[in-house]
Amino acid sequence: MYPFEYHKAQSVEDAVAQVTRGDDGKFLAGGMTLIPTMKQRLASPDLLVDIGQLDSLNGIRKDGDTIVVGAMTTHATVERSPLVNAHLPGLAQLAAVIGDPQVRNRGTLGGSVANADPAADYPAAVLGLNASIVTDKRTIPAEAFFIDIFETALEEHEIITEIRFPIVKNSGYKKFPNPASHYPIVGVFIAVTDDETRVAVTGAAGFVFRCEEAEKRLAARFDAAALEDMKLSHEDFNEDIHATADYRAHLIAVMASRLVESMR
């Protein structure tokens, strides 16, 4: 690994001020993606600003009808949080199946969402629950946040501080994991509110998206049978050694059906 300079941030302001000192300064959160990427020399920042231990970015609280999760909250903390389990079971289910226990102990919500890996789990909950991404500069709605593969609405050196998840009537997450990496080949998050049923899909395409066909069917009848014979167009779906685009399209229907079954 190339040498780099390290700065442990004292506050969000300090982090933002420091990171611009480097030619290619980067924020370090849990490091579960950045460190492997640096080892492979796919990234070689000359400066790392460590925000992983900022208390102000860590923790879970209830604010009216919203669950607010600090950006540096680890997956293990979300998985075990009584607040999350009571109000947003789908979010706890999702956190509990990310990677492996050691990844969940280090990896953070903000790190995962900012990285926007097409096969990351968290984006499904962010879009499914219609969450708001709060940064040091502004608040971005989930619908406008994920733009493309590894691309978000974040500007350079903008830090996610917290994500606000509206409490919904019912929520759930199910994925078909790659047996080696545990990344979802397809992951489906369903949120049921008074007004709508939202179905967000990760892993299938370049970035997380809402499956309108499944939403329409489930709004009419919240039953696994409603998803039978659902055929999705898969032109833009990912194709790799693990699954064809056609197979991913099929998996969406299968995972959504199983999830609906478990949520009823």
Catalog residues that contact other proteins under the rule CB under 8 A. 1-6, 8, 28, 31-32, 35-36, 39, 44, 46, 48, 50, 52-53, 76, 99-103, 105-106, 180-182
Full 3-state SS string of the chain: CCCCEEEECCCHHHHHHHHCCCCCEEEECCCCCHHHHHHCCCCCCCEEEECCCCHHHCCEEEECCEEEEECCCEHHHHHHCHHHHHHCHHHHHHHHCCCCHHHHHHCEHHHHHHHCCCCCCHHHHHHHCCCEEEECCCEEEHHHHEEECCEECCCCCCCEEEEEEECCCEEEEEEEECCCCCCEEEEEEEEECCCCEEEEEECCCCCCEECHHHHHHHHHCCCHHHHCCCCCCCCCCCCCCCCCHHHHHHHHHHHHHHHHHHHC
User: What is the closest distance, in whole angstroms, from the C-beta atom of residue 201 to other proteins in the complex?
Assistant: 23
User: What is the closest distance, in whole angstroms, from the C-beta atom of residue 220 to other proteins in the complex?
Assistant: 36
Nearer to other proteins (CB atom), residue 101 or residue 141 = 101
Nearer to other proteins (CB atom), residue 48 or residue 69 = 48
User: What is the closest distance, in whole angstroms, from the C-beta atom of residue 147 to other proteins in the complex?
Assistant: 28
Nearer to other proteins (CB atom), residue 50 or residue 213 = 50
User: What is the closest distance, in whole angstroms, from the C-beta atom of residue 43 to other proteins in the complex?
Assistant: 12
User: What is the closest distance, in whole angstroms, from the C-beta atom of residue 69 to other proteins in the complex?
Assistant: 18
Nearer to other proteins (CB atom), residue 20 or residue 44 = 44
